[in-house]
Structures are given as structure tokens and as C-alpha cells.
């Protein structure tokens, strides 16, 4: 196909020159660094690359493979940062951002119970996507478990957005607002689920503490 790729709306159009110049390297590089906290448009470049693939300018299978590998590797860098440096940083500077040792211990306990679900869901939530590897490392989540759920989340996330981008193609101008709305709804649901799990965990801890001290009903 010799036609130019379809014009991309909004921020997708802003990053199109990056994709034009760097191709698969842009996809892999931005996704890799985004997943250990660097503020770059990783999700956006994935969608744009998928649109290009739908227009015949990139190979969809290569886009998916590069995206999944980069996402998994990036999160593993985040995991290493959290595991080998996170606690020292929190112990030294955590009090300035309200991360006291007691709160970190509670987070560790919660993550050990529900970490797999969080790692998988976090892919779809901006902010959590960039931090979940670091949090998993800080809470000493076993690396094989993290790797498995991280790979699952990466495959689901890349599969979702690459499919949307690929089949949207030249109609992305119409679908882009719906994509944004879908992402916000999914993020809201994920946050609500995590909030419920936190509330249930804290409630169980409170009941257990009351039973231990004999102050329960």
C-alpha cells in the first residue's frame, strides 16, 4: 500500500513525527521507559503505531511483540528499583510524603494478598501503570509471581489497545473520543475495585485487632 497513513487526531497527531522517524524503536523505547516511571506517552505511541499498522505502514505482529517485550522489561526495571532501592529511599525520605514505616508495612501486607490482581489491572490505569513494578519490588512480591502477572497484564493491555488502533484506522477521528471515554470508565472501575479491596482488608485487620485485645463485640 502506497497511501499515506491516516491523519491522527489530538495528541496522536503530535507524536506522529516520532513514529514516522523511529518506527518500532519509538514503540519499544517509549514503552520501556514509561514502565519504570519516566513520564512519556507510551500508551499513545502504542495506539498510533497500531493505526499505522492498520494502514499498512507497520507490521502489526511486530508492533505487538515489541510492545509486550518492552512493557515487561520496563516493569522489571521498576521492580528492581523498588526491590533494591525502594526501602532505603522510603526509610530516609518517606516521612516527607506521608509514607511512614507503618504505612509501608500495611501496603506490603495488602500487596502480598492482592498483588497479582493489582499488577494485572494496573496496566490500564495511568499512574499505576508506571508505578506498579516499583511498588511490587518494595513490597518484596516474589519475582516469578510478579513476572507472570506482569506479562499477563502486558499482553491484555497491548492486545486491547493494538486491536482498537488497528481496526480503527482511518476512522480514528470518530472513535478517538470514545476510546478516551472507555479508558476513563475502565480506570474508574479499577480504582473502585482496588478501593474496595483496601477497605475490606483494613476492616478485617481492625476486627482481628479487636479480637486480639478483647475489645470486639
- Across the range 70-85, mean pLDDT stands at 89
> Which of 76-80, 110-114, 151-155 is the least confident region?
110-114
Cell of 88: 532505603
Q: CA 200, 203, 207, 212 torsion: positive or negative?
A: positive
Three-state SS annotation for 100-154: CHHHHHHHHHHHHHHHHHHHHHHCCCCCHHHHHHHHHHHCCCCHHHHHHHHHHHH
Q: How many CA atoms lie within 13 A of 61 on its CB side?
A: 0
Using pLDDT thresholds of 50, 70 and 90, give the confidence band for residue 69. very high
Helices and strands (DSSP H and E) totals, the chain: 9, 0
pLDDT higher than threshold 70 for residue 64: yes
Between residues 154 and 35, which one has the greater pLDDT? 154
Mean pLDDT of 157-176: 75
pLDDT-based confidence at 23, cuts 50/70/90?
Answer: confident
Please give the model's pTM, rounded to 2 decimal places: 0.66
- Read off the pLDDT band of 201 (50, 70, 90): low
Amino acid at each position: 500500500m502506497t497511501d499515506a497513513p491516516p491523519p491522527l487526531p489530538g495528541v496522536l497527531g503530535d507524536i506522529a513525527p516520532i513514529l514516522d522517524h523511529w518506527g518500532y524503536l519509538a514503540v519499544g523505547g517509549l514503552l520501556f521507559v514509561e514502565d519504570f516511571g519516566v513520564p512519556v506517552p507510551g500508551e499513545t505511541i502504542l495506539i498510533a503505531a497500531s493505526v499505522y499498522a492498520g494502514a499498512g505502514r507497520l507490521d502489526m505482529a511486530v508492533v505487538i511483540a515489541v510492545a509486550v517485550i518492552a512493557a515487561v522489561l520496563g516493569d522489571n526495571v521498576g521492580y528492581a528499583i523498588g526491590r533494591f532501592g525502594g526501602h532505603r529511599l522510603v526509610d530516609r525520605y518517606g516521612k516527607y510524603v506521608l509514607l511512614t514505616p507503618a504505612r509501608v508495612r500495611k501496603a506490603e501486607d495488602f500487596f502480598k494478598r492482592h498483588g497479582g490482581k493489582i499488577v494485572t489491572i494496573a496496566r490500564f490505569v495511568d499512574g499505576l501503570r508506571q508505578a506498579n513494578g516499583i511498588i511490587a519490588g518494595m513490597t518484596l512480591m516474589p519475582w516469578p509471581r510478579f513476572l507472570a502477572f506482569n506479562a499477563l497484564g502486558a499482553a491484555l493491555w497491548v492486545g486491547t489497545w493494538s486491536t482498537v488502533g488497528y481496526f480503527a484506522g482511518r476512522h480514528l477521528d470518530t472513535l478517538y473520543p470514545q476510546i478516551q471515554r472507555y479508558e476513563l470508565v475502565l480506570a474508574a472501575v479499577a480504582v473502585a475495585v482496588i478501593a474496595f479491596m483496601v477497605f475490606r482488608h483494613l476492616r478485617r485487620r481492625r476486627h482481628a485487632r479487636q479480637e486480639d485485645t478483647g475489645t470486639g463485640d
